[in-house]
Amino acid sequence: MTTPTTSSPTTDEEDLPHTKDTGDPFDRDVLPTPPGATAALLRSLLAPMKARVALTTLLLLLQQAAVQAGPLLVAYAIDRAVPAFRADDHGPLVAVAVGYLVCALASGGLQYAFLIASARVNQDVLLDLRGRIFRHAQALSIDFHERYTSGRLISRSTTDVESLRELLSEGLQELVTVILSFLYISAMLLWLDLGLGAVAVASFVPLYLLVRVYRQRAGRVYRVRSTAIAAVIVKFVETMNGIRPVRAFRREAVNEAEFRVLNRRHERTNGDALLEMARYVVGSRLVANTAVAGIVLWGAYRVAGGSLELGVLAAAVLYLRRLYDPIDRLGMFLNSYQSAAASLEKIAGLLAQTPSVPEPSVPRELPARRSELPGREVVFDGVGFGYRTGGEVLPPFDLTLPAGQTVAVVGSTGAGKSTLAKLLARFYDPTAGRVLLDGVDLRDLAMAELRRGVVMVTQEAFLFSGTVAENIAIGRPDASREEIERAAKAIGAHEFISALPDGYDTDVRKRGGRISAGQRQLVAFARALLADPAVLILDEATSSLDIPGERAVQAAMATVLKGRTAVVIAHRLSTVEIADRVLVMEHGRIVEDGSPDRLIAGTGRFADLHRAWRDSLA
Ligand SMILES: Nc1ncnc2c1ncn2[C@@H]1O[C@H](COP(=O)(O)OP(=O)(O)OP(=O)(O)O)[C@@H](O)[C@H]1O
Ligand SMILES: [Mg+2]
């Protein structure tokens, strides 16, 4: 199963990964999260807002104090204020009523302040996190994107961030509330009556055990569930990304069957999670109700015997209800905690990835371009290469392309032409040797300078949302309209662009702005020309053009390639006619190297190819 790496409208076979997609987005094997990365991520997210986190905690602490004063006031009312009221002293009862009201108002106000403060913290954390995911994923090298599908990236920045949001917005508050009320209430109960307090505290032991068992079991279930939901998303995205081949090869039924399996698996794990939850809720209620029943029974016995005041018993029962109430919700919190922990771990794994093609720490500058020497010299010095997933693709070789030379690279499918080009554009670093641009190792060049110096146009010809003009100007955003049009004219794209509904201002993603594969290539070509690189690589860049279109580009090529070093990869040999030099590749090796005339006159592979091509034209 192959997986698309971009949401490109075409399916570029060449850039599809050759790794096997396990369909398991948790992917410990593909992307293990280094130990400690999750905690470090959490710390780095919260570090900038320490003060605000402290403030929110304080607000919650105060709010809990206000809430938990209630039963105490009830006890006071029953045992002191009501008897005083009977003795015509109204003061204490009024004080209790006022006190109750004040506590209620204070707790409401504090809760409001807390919700606003915590929402701000959460928003900033999530904003930061999603930004980091995008920035990081975009900065990672091509080979990462070949292993990690776009579906996975989407599920990282949607589902995973959302589950963190759930935790932060509800779960965390829940946990702190539960812990605080446990502390407050235990202290109150023990203070009110040591015996009753001790019984209540003793009931924590089975509850704690219950929570522990639940955490373990639910943890397992949630891990499986988060894998299952991500598999559903990956399948969905992949199918829709590849909707054209899906249609073309009538894969709908197969896809649907595969999707049904994944969808069912996800629902099943949901059912498992609910079952665990139900067991936990029933168990915790059982413990809680048994404890309350025991306390009521024992308390009533003691009240009858005169060793306990009725108000204290009433307060104890009220406290116990409040104590056990949030335990159901604690289960809920543990759920969101589990899935958020799994999500955070996956996000941390992604963020811990380092680009395999890193920016140099101390970049070197390219020597100034001497005007009498057009382009830049390219040297492959003992370069060897193999993709991460396979064996050696290019055995070590040396190759020098003098500045300004136009080199055609031909050879059969899979020979390694595109691989050579991608090494020159530094999409990958060679596994052996170095690629030099005017004597500077590509690894020592700042990415910005490299991208200015070396531009590669591929068959894919991806267009971004925006206008045609914007798409042409990508390599040089400050280009004037005149320069954009000049570039388009030079490669013969001006006519079709002018014929679009809004000409150069046509939005390529809107109705009427849809342009054909060949036209896309022309736009990509104009883009490369406008970027004016010292080294231009064309990898099947004209493969979608019709013969007149290619002829037009051919005619323009002489001007386009003048003043730069060019590597032209093409199956159609017409492209080769303008080359100064031809390289023939077979199985990763350069087997022929010479001027086109010399090679055609010879008896080698290129002579054969050329003869076959000429015959096909006749
Ligand atoms: N991203 C990748 N991961 C792993 N292997 C790859 C990758 N891209 C290409 N290969 C392998 O490297 C070899 C050379 O591929 P390359 O794309 O360079 O060939 P090519 O000469 O450009 O072929 P074509 O004419 O079909 O474009 C092939 O065997 C291919 O399977
Ligand atoms: Mg290729």
DSSP of 218-247:
HHHHHHHHHHHHHHHHHHHHHHHHTHHHHH
By alpha-carbon position, which residue is closest to atom 29 of ligand 1?
Answer: 414
Query: What's the gap in Å between 530 CA and the centre of ligand 1?
Result: 29
Structural domain of 572 = 378-617
The per-residue pLDDT for 1 is 36
- Whether residue 7 lies inside any domain: the answer is no
Write out pLDDT tens, residues 387-406: 887 789 999 999 999 998 99
- Domain for residue 169, yes or no? yes
Instruction: CATH number of the domain at 536, please.
Output: 3.40.50.300
Query: Domain check: are 313 and 385 in the same one?
Result: no
Q: What is the average pLDDT across 564-575?
A: 84
> Is residue 190 assigned to a domain?
yes
Strands 378-386 and 432-437: antiparallel
Q: Does residue 468 come out as left (phi exceeding 0), alpha (psi in the -120 to 50 range) or beta?
A: alpha
Q: Does 414 contact ligand 1 (Cβ within 6 A)?
A: yes
* 114 plus 228 within the same structural domain: yes
For residue 572, which ligand has an atom nearest its CA?
A: 1
Task: Name residue 535's beta-bridge partners.
Answer: 454, 565
Rounded distance from Cα 539 to ligand 2 centre (Å): 7
Question: Does the reported pTM lie above 0.75?
Answer: no
Asked whether 390 lines ligand 1 (CB < 6 A), one says yes
413 close to ligand 1 (CB < 6 Angstrom): yes
What's the number of domains the chain is made of? 2
Give the containing element (helix H, strand E) for 381: strand 378-386
DSSP string, 301-323: HHHHHTSS-HHHHHHHHHHHHHH
Most informative mutation of 148, 412, 413, 417 for ligand 1 (most atoms within 8 A of CB): 417
Is 385 in the same domain as 320? no
Taking only the tens place, the pLDDT of each residue in 231-241 is 888 888 888 88
286-327 pLDDT, tens digit each: 988 898 899 899 999 999 998 888 888 888 888 888 877 777
Q: With cut-offs at 50, 70 and 90, classify the pLDDT of residue 341.
A: confident
Ligand 1 lined by 609 (C-beta under 6 Å):
no
Nearest Cα neighbor of 292 from 264, 322, 271, 249 is: 322
* pLDDT given at position 267: 93
**Where residue 229 falls among pLDDT bands split at 50, 70, 90?**
confident
Are 598 and 516 in a shared domain?
yes
* 419 pocket-lining for ligand 1 (C-beta < 6 Å): yes
Ligand 1 pocket residue status of 146, Cβ below 6 Å = yes
Write the pLDDT tens digit of every residue in 482-514.
Answer: 999 999 998 888 988 998 888 999 888 876 567
Spacing, Cα 542 to ligand 2 middle (Å): 13
User: Is there a single domain that holds both residue 278 and residue 393?
Assistant: no
- Of the bound ligands, which one is closest to the alpha carbon of residue 420? 1
Output the domain CATH number for residue 249: 1.20.1560.10
